[in-house]
Structure 1
Amino acid sequence: MGQRGHAFLWELFTTKPHVDSGEVRFVRSVPTPWPSWLIAAHPSPERAEPAALRNFLGKLTEYVVKFDSKEQRAQADVDFIRERFGYPEVDVRAWLNTVHWVEDCTAIPGKVIIDTLNILDKAGVVKRPMHGFKAEDFINTEVVRLV
């Protein structure tokens, strides 16, 4: 790299092995103002059929609730992540202490949508409509509930 600056933003524990090896250097943390775990789908029913998405999100909710249970976090989740991804147990436990999942993948908080759009507007990524952002314009109520 020399003296040229190169940077990338990624989740702390995902890049930690590269920091630990000296391959990259941790500069600072920049928390995102939106959740890490959110699913987006194409608005066209031909590309993302609502019934299939509802089914997927319902099943995902079952798995998330089980994975996020206190009993699973005690050891089974640790073993799974350690074995699947090769992270040291201490890092897995530290990560599990910081991460939280939603309990219902079929419910989308309107505040998350609006806050995200406001930040993307401020960054020049999206343009605010004349009437302002409305969360219901960004969800398919055949698939999820706005909460």
Structure 2
Amino acid sequence: MKTINIGGVPEHFNLAWYLGLKNAEYKNSGSNLRWKDYFGGTGAMCKGLRDGDIDMAVILTEGIIKDIIAGNKSKIVQVFVESPLIWGIHVSHDSNYKTIKDIKGTKAAISRYGSGSHLMAYINAQNNGWDLKEDLDFEVIKNLDGAVKGLTEGKADYFMWEKFTTKPLVDNSTFRRIGNCPSPWPCFVIAVREDFLKTNKEDVKTILNIVNATTSEFKDIPSIDRMIANRYEQEIEDVQEWLSLTEWSQENISKDTVAKVQDELFALDIIPEKWDYNELVEKL
């Protein structure tokens, strides 16, 4: 039985993978799928793909497109979550910053360069008309625990992370959320290392078919809201709101979406050039 390593963030978006693993669906199909949690997010997963630590990743769209152009030999094979990611903009609960305008020119905590928290800081700056060279500064904090330490100790001033994941930290007065910044495209895609894809395309197809069967009926799973609330330590009303806003996908990423992401990243000087759709995407 072939062992296939896949990485993703340990968040509610990826519960569908856990359910398939728990029910031995991948094993029964002939794949020894092994899940690895990446607390450091997209930047850490990009490194995992590059180093061969994982074969597949459930990863932020903008992050993997940037990293493929930067030399990551991987391809996008499917959109996983069609809806945008709602990035909460957080400050320490005791901070003097009250609005997004107040954090202009201050230091953003990011998990690592090239991560979603890094790239979305540029999107937020552009949305608010900031000078991208003068008004952005960064402090690398690795993960959510690092952000708590960094903001509490004053090493950084604000932190962008998925709104519902950080909601418990807002509820317990660790963070205060001063705004939101939705990603302007589908948030998560599935990427696969090119070398792995060349020789294991049928295995990848099988894995996608299994997870797609789960996500297509995910919201209809009995008591799914309670399951998510318990597993991820969320309030049930927050989970219900998140479910109402989230749509999964079983299709590959469109040419228009790839063009939109690249146009935005290029305009922000995050990528040096734009690539052809087929250099970034593999149709299975």
TM-score by length of 2: 0.42
* Superposition deviation, residue 20 in structure 1: 1.0
| Superposition CA RMSD, Å | 2.2
- Determine the C-alpha separation between the residues in 2 that align with 1:122 and 1:135: 18
Match of 2:279 in 1: 137
- The structure richer in strand per residue is 2
Residues 229 and 236, structure 2, Cα contact 8 Å, conserved in 1: yes
- Determine the C-alpha separation between the residues in 2 that align with 1:46 and 1:3: 44
Match of 2:30 in 1: none
Q: Give CA-to-partner distance per residue, 1:28-47, whole Å, 9 cap, x none.
A: 11111122221122222379
User: Aligned residue pairs: how many?
Assistant: 133
- Cα distance change on mapping 1:2 and 1:45 into 2, 3 Å: closer
SS state of the match for residue 175, structure 2? coil
Q: Give CA-to-partner distance per residue, 1:105-147, whole Å, 9 cap, x none.
A: 4x22222211112222122222224xxx422221122x3xxxx
Match of 1:65 in 2: 216
Residues 81 and 92, structure 1, Cα contact 8 Å, conserved in 2: yes
**Equivalences for 1:1-147 in 2 at 5 Å?**
1=152, 5-45=156-196, 49-68=200-219, 71-72=220-221, 75-102=222-249, 104-105=250-251, 107-129=252-274, 133-141=275-283, 143=284
- Gaps of at least 5 residues in structure 1 are none
Q: Give the letter for the 1:125 counterpart.
A: I
- Determine the C-alpha separation between the residues in 1 that align with 2:199 and 2:239: 34
- Cα distance change on mapping 1:8 and 1:41 into 2, 3 Å: farther
- Cα distance change on mapping 1:45 and 1:2 into 2, 3 Å: closer
- Determine the C-alpha separation between the residues in 1 that align with 2:161 and 2:256: 24
SS state of the match for residue 124, structure 1? coil
TM-score by length of 1: 0.77
Q: Give CA-to-partner distance per residue, 1:56-107, whole Å, 9 cap, x none.
A: 1111110101203xx33xx5211210121121111111111111111x14x2
Q: Give the letter for the 2:255 counterpart.
A: G
- Gaps of at least 5 residues in structure 2 are 1-151
SS state of the match for residue 82, structure 1? helix
SS state of the match for residue 178, structure 2? coil
Residues 258 and 277, structure 2, Cα contact 8 Å, conserved in 1: yes
Q: Give the letter for the 1:124 counterpart.
A: D
Residues 197 and 204, structure 2, Cα contact 8 Å, conserved in 1: no
- Determine the C-alpha separation between the residues in 2 that align with 1:43 and 1:118: 24
